[in-house]
Chain A
């Protein structure tokens, strides 16, 4: 079973604050993803990456930056957090094209006051 570790588990910040969410996978997967989960919207793709230094734009990228520093590490940055970014954030990784399963981390619950 692939291991995807997210940190922190919970984060509270204020409007305008600077937040970094971290994700690490130790399975040498090529692809990594950031999703946000909101009631009524399901899982919406923010950014994804197919390798170190690569970044692909997802469906809801506004207000988010991401950086893939290594094969293992993928970060999501909120430089001016807003209350609309209060959500449950999931990171996922996949060994595509060898296998197409997405393996999700445990999630980070972010609250922006």
Chain B
């Protein structure tokens, strides 16, 4: 069963637009929510992460919005650039056992 659901499967935006990637989870014990990105032929790498004590985390053009009540979180990429084209994975972990569970990924394409 997919413990972390991610949508859309693929997303195409124009350069300068905001890309929005969504995730939801079921397990209430999850308390750490990172996003990883993976460029073609490379390994996943941490992009940004949030803990439920906050409902928003910003790092430059990347922002996580977190809704604990609805068990949803999203990644907003502002002013999208062609270099942002990659696969993005949301994840969730329980910091009691550090078991990281990933979503199925969103393949983002930014068109110039």
The interface of chain A, by Cβ under 8 A from chain B, is 31, 33, 35, 40-45, 48, 50, 56, 58-59, 90, 94, 96-97, 100-102, 104-107
Tally of B interface residues using CB under 8 Å: 23
Q: How long is the Cα–Cα vector from A101 to B43 in the complex, in angstroms?
A: 13
Is A96 a contact of B102 with CB atoms below 8 Å? no
Q: What 4 A-B pairs are tightest by C-beta distance, nearest first?
A: A104-B43, A42-B104, A43-B102, A42-B105
Q: Give the residues in chain A near B43, CB-CB below 8 Å.
A: 90, 104-107
Is B44 a contact of A58 with CB atoms below 8 Å? no
The interface of chain B, by Cβ under 8 A from chain A, is 3, 6, 9, 32, 34, 36, 43-46, 49, 89, 93, 95, 97-105
Having A33-B100, A105-B43, one finds 20 other A-B pairs with CB under 8 Å, namely A35-B102, A40-B9, A41-B104, A42-B6, A42-B89, A42-B105, A44-B102, A45-B100, A48-B98, A50-B98, A56-B97, A96-B95, A96-B98, A100-B34, A100-B49, A100-B93, A101-B34, A102-B46, A104-B44, A106-B43
CB < 8 Å: which of B3, B45, B93, B101 contacts A104?
B45
Q: How long is the Cα–Cα vector from A105 to B45 in the complex, in angstroms?
A: 10
Tell me which of B6, B43, B95, B97 has the highest count of chain A C-beta atoms within 10 A of its own C-beta.
B43
Q: Give the residues in chain A near B9, CB-CB below 8 Å.
A: 40
Tell me which of A44, A90, A100, A106 has the highest count of chain B C-beta atoms within 10 A of its own C-beta.
A100
Q: Give the residues in chain B near A50, CB-CB below 8 Å.
A: 98
Is A43 a contact of B98 with CB atoms below 8 Å? no
